[in-house]
Amino acid sequence: MKPPEWFLLDKSESVCKLGCMSKENFNGTPMMIEISISNDGIVQLSVAGKLIDLSQFYISSKLVFSVNSINALFRCLKIVSVCQGYHDKNKEQPFTFFNDKYMKEVCIVQKDAEPKVVIRHINCYKVVPIGSVSHTCKRCIKCKSRRNERMKQKQLGKKENENPLPGCNQFNDIRSVLSNIAPNLTENQHTLLCSQIMASNLKKIVMV
């Protein structure tokens, strides 16, 4: 018996696919968590389209069907947590470089919770290791050390090796325009709009 938050996505003779939405949402959109169970017991989990290695959660990818096995599988899946991105709390030296690797998003963990601005790697692992306190995957957390490296370089007076990143300029340009035309919006609203405009530009580039 499936838990109520899971819904049927597809069912054929060979496979049954179920989905549920993550409790976290990013720029207003939750992530789709999908599980497929084939009739020979093969289990596959994906989060936002990324296939997840179940062994990191000590969950077998081969289900032996029994009276309790489906219930047990869903109980085990409760330990899988979605990566919430890196919450940059450093107000003095905020993370400011955005390029083809990092995105800035507004994350709301639960309804009525305070939105937080997070940085996410484009190849985010989507899930965090068991017991993670930061709720940030190992790839997204790397932006913290990258920021620290940059600050160190600046402090040492070294010339930046990299050219200004186009994504960074574009983000800041859009933000500057938004600040002028909509000065009453909050920082989170500016960030959300900037992210959406940049994502829309990216889609156009891909389509071309």
Q: What is the contact surface with Zn ion in residues (CB under 5 A)?
A: 83, 124, 137, 140
| In the complex, least distance from residue 83 CB atom to Zn ion, rounded to whole angstroms | 3
Instruction: Calculate the CA 38 to chain-centre distance.
Output: 27
Query: 54 or 140: whose CB is closer to Zn ion?
Result: 140
Query: 47 or 83: whose CB is closer to Zn ion?
Result: 83
**Residue 52: phi, psi to the nearest 5?**
-105, 135
Which CA distances in Å does 7 have to 11, 76, 93?
11, 17, 43
| In the complex, least distance from residue 120 CB atom to Zn ion, rounded to whole angstroms | 6
Query: 38 or 99: whose CB is closer to Zn ion?
Result: 99
Cα distance between residue 201 and residue 72, in whole Å: 44
Query: 137 or 174: whose CB is closer to Zn ion?
Result: 137
| In the complex, least distance from residue 29 CB atom to Zn ion, rounded to whole angstroms | 16
| In the complex, least distance from residue 134 CB atom to Zn ion, rounded to whole angstroms | 10
Half-sphere exposure (CA, 13 Å, Cβ side) for 170? 18
Cα distance between residue 171 and residue 199, in whole Å: 11
**Residue 194: phi, psi to the nearest 5?**
-60, -45
